[in-house]
Amino acid sequence: MKFNLFIMKYIAILFLSATWLFSCTNKQSSNSTDNNSENNDWKLVWSDEFDNEGLPDTTKWNYDTRGNEYGWGNNEKQWYPIADPENAYIRDGILTITAIKEPTFGKDYSSARLTTKGKGDWKYCKVEVRAKVPLGRGTWPAIWMLPTENTYGGWPKSGEIDIMEHVGFNPDTVFSTVHTGAFNHTIGTQVGKKIGLPTATTEFHIYTTEWNENEIRSYVDGEHYFTFTNNGEGFEAWPFDRPFHLILNLAIGGGLGGKKGIDDSKFPHEFQIDYVRVYQK
């Protein structure tokens, strides 16, 4: 009898423990559903999955070459050609932007800079890009946004949103930054934040920025690490109330990328992009 009583008590304890665990699991599931409901407010409005092999889709992308002769204002060392498959090509669902060490119109390197200007311009959105950056001192890949019209004046007055930047001399870190008339690197007031990412050059990661009328938030693989808030002090501080377009590029050298020189032994370099998705509410 004592043995049977012990078995009954043991079964009761197991039942109560299972009930408690089920309750906790349901609560966690409910919370997860609530969070997903918030995320589901975003609706996909533009994307490129890079499913078609060949050059980038010209209904979605432009080749930006305007600053080739002047170093793009950053003393960069590359030349950006137009529609050269050696520098920008889609294969197996991946867009690869390749930087090559080769004499090109007086520059020592060639690469590619793609924009959606006039083909993808958004005011307030969520941008999500899955990408892998190259490894090598002197590289400077970026996923970023500029205003489609310089409503408040030339750079930086009309704003810049850097979704993700990476520099080869600091391979295990990425960062997100904004630039405005009041907050920019030329006067030492830029606002941004970096996050450690040891596998940035070996694995694909999802880089995301959410932008609304109140703030800009940046994430890596869903981890929120940077917020820039509208302080209500006008366009000098917050010019982000106009349409912006997206830019993908791989620069070589420059004021930031070339800060510790360029390792020529590592070329060519590949900046790989799996997809680009833009959402709005």
| Angstrom distance (rounded) from CA 28 to CA 33 | 9
Which of 53, 102, 149, 165 is the catalytic position? 165
Can 215 be counted among the known catalytic residues? no
Burial class of residue 243 (count of CB atoms within 10 Å of its CB; 0-12, 13-18, 19+)? middle
Helix (H, G, I), strand (E, B) or coil at 42: coil
Alpha-helical runs (H) found in the chain: 2-39, 254-257
Which of 38, 76, 102, 160 is the catalytic position? 160
Look at phi and psi of residue 159 and say left if phi exceeds 0, alpha if psi is from -120 to 50, else beta: left
Can 160 be counted among the known catalytic residues? yes
Half-sphere exposure of 280 (CA within 13 A, CB side): 10
| Angstrom distance (rounded) from CA 18 to CA 12 | 10
Cα 68–Cα 177–Cα 169 angle in degrees, nearest 5: 65
- Cα→Cα distances 13→6, 7, 24, 37, 265, Å: 11, 10, 17, 36, 66
By annotation, the residues acting in catalysis are 160, 165
